[in-house]
Amino acid sequence: MSALLDSTASANVPDDGDACSVPSAANKAVADEAAADEAAAQTAAVDTGIPAEKAAPGQAVAAAEKAGASATEAEANRAVCKKAAAIAGSASHSPRTRASRTRSSIEEARGFERRLTSQASTGVLEAGNASSLQAVARAVDTQCRDLKGHWHSVKELREQRNSAVLKGMSWMRKLLTANNLEALIEIGDDAACLFFEIWYTSSSSTIRSAARGIAQDLLEKYECHLLEPIRCKCKQCRARAGGKGGPKTMEGKELFMTLMYLVRCKEEMGLDIEAMATRADELWSTCGLSNTSVLLDVSLDGLAAVSNSDWVVLIMNIMILEFNQLLFRRRWPLKWGLREAFEHLRTRQYWGPPYDFEYKFHDSFYLATHIVFAISAYSAIKTNPKDVPWLFDYNRRSCAYWVQQSWRRFSGKQADRMIDIDALSEAVDVMRGCGLTDGGDPLLCSATISLLALQRGDGSWPFWQLDVDRRDSIVAQAPKEATFYNRVHPTWVAVQGLRDRNFDYDRKGNTQWGQFMERLLKQTNLRHLEKRVIYSCPTRQSSKRDSKRQPRRLGTKRESLTEASEHGEGAEDLLLECDATP
């Protein structure tokens, strides 16, 4: 884990530029290829989210010199770098871009590497080329930078994330199916649906395939428990069958809401929903659920009385009902829904960092992330920070706070420092849901590294609570006994946050939802809060030295964190000075 948190020597970036261009020998041949292959410059944008024309020249020169190339070779590289930069259209951009270190001539570097390999195999390796092999390897390996200025291999970080995701999935599957499905039945529809969410937009075919298989298995077992308890082999149903009693079976609107989550999952996966949909129709009629206020246990006039913590569940219930109206053509129509919810939520008071013993920040944060999840229908569609700037700005500030707490814990300054892993993971999930990547966002890169460092050897993430008996500081405490939900949730959301996304998959409901949400956000004016978010932590100002290096420093008229992140700049300014707080 320590290797993850520290920058390696090969990943450091010299002061003369943030982007690398071409290798350090046979420059004439490479230059000719670079002039003829303009498309290669665009390849640099892969894994970074930064347009290739923003890549700055100069890094290959430093890499060549570091690898032992001669001054003549370095000078020749400089000329080739300039030519490659001209092809990429980067002549007008500052070499000190704050974006991730990209490679504006990856294909040329790879071609050069192939020629070197060929020469080595025939025993006619040109003088000076051997020393350039390391520079070539670095040139083709895209790097991303964290908030501390350390560089990391995007490829290696992705491999670590995918490995962590698969380990986390394996741990959750074992827990949920152990002891005759005890955890699955206790947690309920959340446990049955979580692998569906992983499957929906994961870009890795390995993760997607594994998630689909587990999701189908859990959904069918939980459906059997709800609708055919006689056939169910779970611990609860066996106890009832043996006359030992047990928890009451789920009925009424509670069962209806559970079925709403399950039918959405099975319908979009192309599985049979007839039994569940028929049962939902019966409950709709017999329980009077056509009255939305009865179904949701709250009237429009009572929305203001709902606490932030209770809104987390309420808004997701409203979302799934709205989603199913599109998926099943108003089979279970609503009298009111997300329109009214969004109009109310923009009038509430939200609190930002630091963590407090009244849980104001805690409850505000989880409500904020679930507003995002309602917008995206649990990551079914890509979100746009410009649609609700305050919401994504708030998420970035909160993420920066938790990253800073993780640094404090890892540094040893306070080994028991409270880190809300669930919150950090949901913040990362929200950022990836916007299409951000480690390569294009230093804050996301830092948060990812912290999450990876917190994973246990068995694939799980720990569940920590605030030690309310220690008022002198925020101290993490692992409860002696935790519910199955509390044990699963940190791993569930960490896995969600670490996985790569692909929003181009054609699912049954995502296109309709995207169109619906685009209209709804414009109609409700959710982008404008009536009350400013209350932050107790001041924002750190940039130093004079940093202000000279950053053309887009956050000044008196402070732009939002979301706007800064879109340019890949000013990320250090986003950190909150909360180390002075207990």
Sequence-ordered alpha helix ranges (H) in 287-359:
292-296, 308-327, 338-345
Res. 63: pLDDT tops 50:
no
Write the pLDDT tens digit of every residue in 205-215. Answer: 999 999 999 99
464, 537, 570 from 474: Cα distances, Å: 11, 15, 28
CA gap 223, 189 in Å, rounded: 9
Instruction: Quickly state the pLDDT bin for 164 (edges 50, 70, 90).
Output: very high
User: In the prediction, which pLDDT does 135 show?
Assistant: 56
Q: Which helix (H) or strand (E) holds 158?
A: helix 154-187
Write the pLDDT tens digit of every residue in 138-163. Answer: 556 788 999 999 999 999 999 999 99
Q: Are 227 and 279 in contact (CB under 8 A)?
A: yes
Instruction: Quickly state the pLDDT bin for 13 (edges 50, 70, 90).
Output: very low
- In angstroms and rounded to an integer, the radius of gyration of the C-alpha atoms of the chain is 26
User: In the prediction, which pLDDT does 113 show?
Assistant: 56
Q: What is the mean pLDDT of residues 1-16?
A: 37
CA gap 357, 380 in Å, rounded: 34
- Give 410 or 84, the one with higher predicted confidence: 410
Write the pLDDT tens digit of every residue in 467-518. Answer: 988 888 899 999 989 999 999 999 999 999 999 999 998 888 899 999 999 9
Q: What is the mean pLDDT of residues 231-240?
A: 86
Write the pLDDT tens digit of every residue in 313-355. Answer: 999 999 999 999 999 998 999 999 999 999 999 999 999 999 9
Q: What is the mean pLDDT of residues 225-238?
A: 90
What distance lies between CA 243 and its chain's CA centroid?
46
CA gap 320, 377 in Å, rounded: 8
- State the burial class of residue 408 (Cβ atoms within 10 Å of its Cβ: 0-12, 13-18, 19+): middle
Class of the CATH-defined domain 155-524: mainly alpha
Sequence-ordered alpha helix ranges (H) in 235-307:
235-241, 252-268, 274-286, 292-296
User: In the prediction, which pLDDT does 554 show?
Assistant: 34
Instruction: Quickly state the pLDDT bin for 78 (edges 50, 70, 90).
Output: very low
The domains of the chain are located at 2-141, 155-524
**Which amino acid is it at 250?**
M
Q: What is the mean pLDDT of residues 566-581?
A: 48
| Cβ count within 10 A of residue 146 | 24
Res. 8: pLDDT tops 90:
no
Q: Are 419 and 469 in contact (CB under 8 A)?
A: no
Cis ω for the linkage preceding 354 (within 30 of 0): yes
Residue 532: how many CA atoms within 13 Å on its side-chain side? 3
pTM beyond 0.85: the answer is: no
β-pairing, 465-466 vs 151-153, is unpaired
Write the pLDDT tens digit of every residue in 440-473. Answer: 899 999 999 999 999 999 999 999 999 988 888 8
174, 177, 239, 248 from 180: Cα distances, Å: 11, 6, 11, 18
CA gap 28, 25 in Å, rounded: 9
User: In the prediction, which pLDDT does 557 show?
Assistant: 36
User: In the prediction, which pLDDT does 489 show?
Assistant: 97
Percent of the chain with pLDDT over 70: 67
User: In the prediction, which pLDDT does 138 show?
Assistant: 55
Instruction: Quickly state the pLDDT bin for 239 (edges 50, 70, 90).
Output: confident
Res. 64: pLDDT tops 60:
no
Q: Are 399 and 424 in contact (CB under 8 A)?
A: yes
CA gap 166, 173 in Å, rounded: 11
192, 221, 281 from 275: Cα distances, Å: 17, 13, 10
User: In the prediction, which pLDDT does 472 show?
Assistant: 85
129, 334, 370, 477, 488 from 365: Cα distances, Å: 54, 28, 9, 20, 20
Average pLDDT, the chain: 78
Q: What is the mean pLDDT of residues 97-123?
A: 51
Q: Output DSSP code: residue 130.
A: G
CA gap 387, 528 in Å, rounded: 10
| Cβ count within 10 A of residue 66 | 16
